[in-house]
Amino acid sequence: MRIFPVLLGLAVIAAAGGWVLSAPSPLPAETFDGLTGDPVHGQQVFTAAGCASCHMAPGATGDAQLVLAGGQRFPSDFGTFLAPNISPDPTHGIGGWSVLDLGNAIQRGAAPDGSHLYPALPYTAYDKMVPQDVSDLHAYLMTLPADATPSAPHEIGFPFNIRRSLGLWKVLFTGQDWVVQGDLTEAETRGRYIAEAMAHCGECHTPRNALGGLDRARWLAGAPDPSGQGRIPDIRPSALTWTEEEIVEYLTSGFTPEYDSVGGHMAHVVENMSKLPDSDRQAVAAYLKRVGG
């Protein structure tokens, strides 16, 4: 009968270990000390990161795309996520957030109240952003129109609605190094920063495993569209045989070398990319030519 107390003790130890491992891991409190946010540069970060593409209201056009009221729906194998309000509204948006609050959200997946955020917010990519860019992004976000629309709850069933379990998911899939390594040129390094961090290209173009983590061994190899309709293309050099100039043109105008036009959610990506400096689009094209596979 002595085996039962031993098993109970082991269960308690395992539960305590799981509780510790699943706790949020916030940024150091001094991460943004001494930094002053520049909203002008923050607008470029905002554009490259595609913030409006996900957080504007459904169907918004023109200037209304800068009203980040949320509400767009993003289906997945784990349920449907609804983009929250990230306008500067102090009650229903993020108007009361400090730059550290924003950094913890987009780089550690942790809300100001300490709860885990779902990785529909691509913090596994944003965690590679440098502190100055996060500070600048915060400064820009606070210049946008406030909107009092309450954020709608995600439509997530059991057991995925247990947010604490996301802490264990983060142990497996966050804090990873750059995918493309090696002796990169300045342009390729900049392209990697845009593609792997800010623009989070891998979130759509890379297949996922059963736990929803990116299969980094097949980086940018294409994936099923979460909507269940069609497939997001393989954009590795072995599949995307466009020249760098043709990639730049696509990211500028939305036209392929065959004169097809961009569609779907990628239209928002091209719209964002077209607003960046020419050198950034050239950098992304140079980076894509360095991706393995």
Rounded percentage of the chain residues whose pLDDT exceeds 90: 84
Q: Where residue 74 falls among pLDDT bands split at 50, 70, 90? A: very high
Residues 130-142, mean pLDDT to the nearest whole number: 98
Q: What is the pLDDT of residue 178?
A: 97
Mean confidence (pLDDT) of the chain: 92
pLDDT at 16 over 60: no
From residue 280, give the alpha-carbon distance in Å to each of 48, 191, 252, 276. Answer: 9, 7, 11, 6
As a whole number of angstroms, the distance between CA 202 and CA 243 comes to: 20
As a whole number of angstroms, the distance between CA 148 and CA 231 comes to: 36
Burial 153-176 (b: 16+ CB within 10 A, else e): ebebeeebeeeeebbebbeebbee
pLDDT at 115 over 70: yes
Instruction: Please identify which residue in the block is written with the tokens 């960046």.
Output: 276
Is 3.40.30 the CATH number for 186-288? no
Q: Where residue 53 falls among pLDDT bands split at 50, 70, 90? A: very high
The answer, as to whether pTM is greater than 0.75, is yes
Q: What is the pLDDT of residue 12?
A: 42
- The domain limits of the chain are 32-173, 186-288
> Which DSSP category does 218 fall into?
G
Residues 215-231, mean pLDDT to the nearest whole number: 90
The residue among 77, 235, 97, 284 whose CA lies nearest residue 160 is 77
Residue type, 218: R
Q: What is the pLDDT of residue 30?
A: 97
Q: Where residue 9 falls among pLDDT bands split at 50, 70, 90? A: very low
Residues 163-175, mean pLDDT to the nearest whole number: 92
Residues 76-89, mean pLDDT to the nearest whole number: 95
Q: What is the pLDDT of residue 7?
A: 42
Q: What is the pLDDT of residues 18-42, one digit of tens each?
A: 546 667 789 999 999 999 999 999 9
Give one word for 259, left, alpha or beta, with left for phi > 0 and alpha for psi -120 to 50: left
As a whole number of angstroms, the distance between CA 93 and CA 138 comes to: 13
